[in-house]
């Protein structure tokens, strides 16, 4: 069913290419394209078959040729948006594309809003909301892994998994509703509590697996977060610049130069890392620097991997530093980096190693300024990240909105399990089941209501026909 009667158009390709494509969609798409396009041959565009390419000329209002083009023809509902649609492939000149857009708008077409083609595809039932969101992820994919995950989601892999979950939840809800409706007939038993508990456990296992996959999915999509921490002048900013191979952070001998968090990403052997250079940790009365140090600790809490930079040439009260940093790294992968190793004697290297013998973390000697030890550090980072190989069949959640909905659904199914174990009244359990269904529906963009339960009851149970 068409949700919008406007016909829209937009340039669908990036500026600067040899070929440009203008996309048109809506009830008048073919007619409006025909007004500015003269095909080679006798048959007009609106009499041609869908999924065909037609060569011809685009004409100005004065009848001058703007360009020779190819027009792709799609007929509703078999198009990306589910509407009548055309795609005009012309030369990629900015002037030509502007002329094509002006001619279409002059025929009554409207400039499309950002994302409106995909929005129409969703509204017209061509894809659910999770598939629509995957379109943006596919466009933004920057690695083979994120491309595969987006393709799987766009092709409906995630949606199919949720649909199976939804069917199981509907079955469980239907049993509970029937139990309530026929509670005065003790001789009727639709399912014992052990069967209901088993179904709930199966559902909980799948939702938990999907929710737990978000930590990997978020790292693949946004980069494994790596916090670089340590005292002032330890070489944190120098290390960041060396890893990024650019002067991203200001480097100075003055203590407290970095007063705010600096972030950037880089691929190391195909894995995306998000490095976070933080303010140096020290006692200070400077208000701005103190704010920066507080942000350091917040970023450290958010990181998966922590690089603790230590200037090996200066004396430190290591026990005080350990008390500040180690408790915040309890559930993280920690690497201890002794910087400026090119200036250290063998005796000093041994002293540093001994001082950190009680720290359960790899210890590396490097010289960030001249990039000594950088390859070894990168290898340690890859091992610490330990991200899995991804195929197009893997179901890994990368979207924060989906993760939050799954988390709420998981809470609801946990309440269902607790209610079944405690033999609570069926109406309480049924309410939690409905909440779980509702949270899963948020992901797909649909809704859940009583008609879903009724339909499942009548379709599967056939009571008294």
* Tens-place pLDDT, residues 227-274: 888 887 788 888 888 888 876 544 444 344 443 457 888 899 888 999
171 and 299 together in one domain: no
244 and 365 together in one domain: yes
Between CA 281 and CA 261 the distance in angstroms is: 13
Does the pLDDT at position 20 exceed 90? Answer: yes
Between CA 184 and CA 181 the distance in angstroms is: 8
Residues paired with residue 267 on neighbouring β-strands, in sequence order: 272
% of the chain exceeding 70 in pLDDT: 84
Residue 12 included in any domain? yes
Per-range mean pLDDT, top range of 27-31, 283-287, 428-432: 27-31
117 and 58 together in one domain: yes
185 and 249 together in one domain: no
229 and 369 together in one domain: yes
Residue 85's domain spans which residues?
Answer: 8-126
Q: Across residues 270-292, what is the average pLDDT?
A: 64
Instruction: Assign 7 a pLDDT band (cuts: 50, 70, 90).
Output: very high
120 and 202 together in one domain: no
Residue 293 included in any domain? yes
Does the pLDDT at position 285 exceed 50? Answer: no
What average pLDDT is seen over the chain?
83
Angle, helices 129-140/144-154, rounded to nearest 10 degrees: 160
Residue 150 included in any domain? no
Q: What is the pLDDT of residue 132?
A: 87
| Range of lowest pLDDT (18-27, 138-147, 349-358) | 138-147
Distances from the Cα of 271 to the Cαs of 262, 268, 379, 425, in angstroms? 20, 5, 11, 50
CATH number at residue 437: 1.20.120.430
204 and 227 together in one domain: no
SS3 120: helix
Does the pLDDT at position 21 exceed 90? Answer: yes
Does the pLDDT at position 419 exceed 60? Answer: yes
Long-range contacts of 451-460 (CB under 8 A, 24+ apart): 452/170, 453/170, 453/173, 453/174, 453/177, 456/170, 456/171, 456/173, 456/174, 457/174, 457/177, 457/178, 460/171, 460/174
Between CA 88 and CA 57 the distance in angstroms is: 11
CATH number at residue 77: 3.30.1360.120
Dig out the tokens for 324 from the structure: 């500040």
Residue 135 included in any domain? no
Cβ neighbours, 10 Å, residue 461: 12
Does the pLDDT at position 465 exceed 50? Answer: no
Residue 139 included in any domain? no
Residue 86 included in any domain? yes
Q: What is the pLDDT of residue 452?
A: 53
64 and 169 together in one domain: no
Q: What is the pLDDT of residue 454?
A: 47
Q: Across residues 342-348, what is the average pLDDT?
A: 92
Residue 144 included in any domain? no
Does the pLDDT at position 184 exceed 70? Answer: no
Does the pLDDT at position 69 exceed 60? Answer: yes
Q: What is the pLDDT of residue 453?
A: 47
Between CA 223 and CA 221 the distance in angstroms is: 6
Residue 91 included in any domain? yes
Please write the tens of the pLDDT for every residue from 71-117.
999 999 999 999 999 999 999 999 999 999 999 999 999 999 999 99
Of 367, 385, 403, which one is at a domain's C-terminal end?
Answer: 385
The answer to whether the beta carbons of residues 430 and 210 sit under 8 Å apart is: no
- Give the count of domains, the chain: 3
Q: What is the pLDDT of residue 457?
A: 42
Q: What is the pLDDT of residue 462?
A: 45
Q: Across residues 174-183, what is the average pLDDT?
A: 68
% of the chain exceeding 90 in pLDDT: 41
Q: What is the pLDDT of residue 260?
A: 47
Structure-model confidence comparison of residues 188 and 88, the more confident one: 88
Q: What is the pLDDT of residue 446?
A: 66
Of 351, 385, 419, which one is at a domain's C-terminal end?
Answer: 385
CA dihedral angle for residue 119, residue 52, residue 86, residue 1, rounded to 10 degrees: -40
Structure-model confidence comparison of residues 179 and 186, the more confident one: 179
What's the full length of the chain, in residues?
Answer: 465
235 and 209 together in one domain: no
CATH number at residue 339: 3.40.50.300
Of 353, 385, 417, which one is at a domain's C-terminal end?
Answer: 385
Q: What is the pLDDT of residue 180?
A: 66
412 and 376 together in one domain: no
Short-list 65, 202, 83, 159, CA closest to 402: 159
Q: What is the pLDDT of residue 444?
A: 85
432 and 336 together in one domain: no
228 and 353 together in one domain: yes
């Amino acid at each position: 069913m068409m949700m919008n009667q406007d016909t829209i158009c937009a340039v669908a390709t990036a500026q600067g290419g040899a070929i440009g494509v203008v996309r048109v969609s809506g009830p008048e798409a073919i007619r409006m394209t025909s007004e500015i396009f003269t095909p080679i041959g006798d048959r007009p565009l609106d009499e041609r078959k869908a999924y065909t390419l037609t060569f011809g000329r685009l004409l100005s209002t004065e009848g001058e040729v703007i360009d020779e083009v190819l027009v792709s023809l799609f007929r509703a509902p078999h198009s990306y948006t589910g509407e009548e649609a055309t795609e005009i492939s012309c030369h990629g000149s900015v002037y030509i594309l502007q002329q094509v857009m002006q001619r279409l708008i002059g025929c009554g077409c409207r400039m499309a809003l950002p994302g409106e083609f995909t929005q129409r595809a969703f509204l017209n039932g061509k894809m659910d909301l999770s598939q629509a969101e995957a379109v943006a992820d596919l466009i933004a994919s920057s690695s083979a892994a994120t491309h595969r995950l987006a393709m799987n989601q766009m092709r409906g892999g995630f949606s199919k998994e949720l649909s199976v979950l939804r069917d199981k939840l509907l079955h469980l809800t239907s049993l509970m509703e029937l139990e309530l409706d026929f509670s005065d007939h003790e001789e009727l038993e639709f399912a014992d509590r052990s069967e209901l508990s088993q179904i709930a456990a199966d559902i909980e296992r799948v939702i938990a697996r999907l929710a737990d996959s978000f930590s990997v999915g978020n790292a693949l999509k946004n980069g494994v977060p790596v916090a670089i921490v340590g005292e002032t002048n330890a070489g944190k900013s120098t290390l960041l610049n060396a890893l990024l191979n650019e002067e991203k952070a200001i480097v100075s001998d003055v203590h407290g130069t970095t007063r705010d968090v600096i972030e950037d990403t880089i691929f190391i052997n195909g894995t995306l890392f998000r490095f976070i250079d933080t303010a140096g940790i020290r006692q200070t009365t400077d208000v701005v620097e103190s704010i920066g140090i507080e942000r350091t600790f917040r970023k450290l809490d958010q990181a998966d991997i922590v690089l603790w930079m230590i200037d090996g040439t200066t004396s430190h009260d290591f026990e005080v530093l350990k008390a500040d940093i180690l408790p915040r790294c309890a559930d993280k992968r920690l690497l201890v980096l002794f910087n400026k190793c090119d200036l250290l004697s063998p005796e000093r290297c041994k002293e540093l190693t001994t001082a950190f013998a009680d720290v359960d973390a790899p210890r590396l000697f490097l010289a960030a300024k001249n990039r000594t030890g950088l390859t070894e550090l990168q290898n340690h980072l890859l091992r610490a990240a330990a991200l899995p190989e991804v195929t197009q069949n893997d179901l890994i959640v990368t979207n924060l909105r989906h993760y939050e909905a799954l988390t709420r659904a998981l809470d609801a199914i946990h309440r269902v399990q607790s209610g079944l174990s405690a033999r609570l009244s069926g109406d309480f359990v049924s309410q939690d089941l409905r909440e779980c269904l509702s949270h899963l529906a948020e992901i797909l963009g649909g809704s859940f209501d009583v008609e879903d339960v009724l339909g499942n009851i009548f379709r599967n149970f056939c009571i008294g026909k």
